[in-house]
């Protein structure tokens, strides 16, 4: 099992190196009055990390809310009153 993980890690590292080499050209990014130039690969990896962080945060908040709802006892509602004979319901 450890050998398989090592091979997968090596494959991912190789793919990352190929990605970095193929996307090495600079890109200019403008945001309102702020502007900077960076490599395309760095920008893509930064956006990926931001997306992973946002997904992890929202997922953990959802799990926390579901756990809290499961811990609370369900609210007891009074039984509905029977219709009166004159209502025609």
**What are the residue boundaries of the structural domains of the chain, listed by start?**
16-71
Q: In whole angstroms, what separates CA 62 from the centre of its chain?
A: 11
- What was the pLDDT predicted at 14? 92
Residue 47 in contact with residue 60, Cβ under 8 Å? no
pLDDT tens per residue, the chain (89 residues)? 888 889 998 998 899 888 888 888 888 988 888 898 988 888 888 888 999 999 999 988 888 888 877 777 766 777 777 777 766 55
pLDDT value of residue 53: 93
> 29, 37 in Cβ contact below 8 A?
yes
SS3 30: strand
Structure tokens at 45: 């990896």
Element (H, E) at 66: helix 40-71
């Amino acid at each position: 099992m450890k050998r398989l993980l090592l091979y997968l890690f090596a494959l991912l590292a190789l793919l990352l190196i190929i990605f970095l080499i193929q996307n090495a050209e600079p890109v200019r990014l403008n945001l309102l009055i702020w502007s900077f130039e960076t490599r395309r690969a760095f920008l893509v990896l930064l956006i990926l990390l931001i997306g992973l962080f946002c997904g992890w945060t929202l997922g953990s908040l959802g799990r926390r809310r579901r756990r809290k709802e499961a811990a609370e006892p369900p609210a007891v509602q009074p039984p509905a009153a029977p219709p009166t004979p004159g209502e025609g319901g």
